[in-house]
Structure formats: structure tokens, C-alpha cells
Amino acid sequence: MLAEVPPSQASSGNKTRQRLNLHGDLHLNRALHTIARTRMMFDAATMEYVERRTAEGKSNTNIHRCFKQLFARQLFRKLGTLLT
């Protein structure tokens, strides 16, 4: 929630979709955005993730949002283990 990456409902008409939450730390969100963009271009595992999501029919914006959520969860877990 702090990084603005949890989804909130943004459905209209026949489409059901989610968008990023707009309440949180803008600087942290920008850092996650930069990390996600860089990993999507250069990290092999992330590129496989993008290919898999593209094959599922997801848009680039949706793939980017999903990856930011995934990366934020991974980062939060790693920080939690470092602090304990």
C-alpha cells in the first residue's frame, strides 16, 4: 500500500480490470517503476514473465502493473527477513 502498487477496482461496462492505488509514496513508486522497466529490458527471468503474460493476452500496461506488484511483494519479504 505504501508504494501505490496494490490494485483497486476500475471496472466499467463489460471490462473488469484493476488499476494502481493512487495513495502512497510517489518516490518509492517511481523507484519501483524504474526497476521494473530495467528488469523488463535486461533480466532474463523477467523477460520470460513478460512473454508468458503476453501469451495470456495481457496488455503491456497490465503486465507492468502486475510485475510491480510482484516485485514489491518480493522486496517487502526480503526486507522483512533482513530486519529480523
Tens of pLDDT along 30-77? 888 899 999 999 999 999 999 999 999 999 988 988 898 888 888 888
pLDDT of the residue at 55: 96
Mean pLDDT of 73-84: 83
Q: Where are the alpha helices (DSSP H) in the chain?
A: 26-42, 44-55, 60-83
Q: Give the sign of the dihedral formed by CA 70, CA 82, CA 22, CA 39.
A: negative
Average pLDDT on 12-28 reads 67
Q: pLDDT value at position 48?
A: 96
- 44, 76 contact by CB (below 8 A): no
* pLDDT number for residue 76: 83
pTM of the model: 0.68
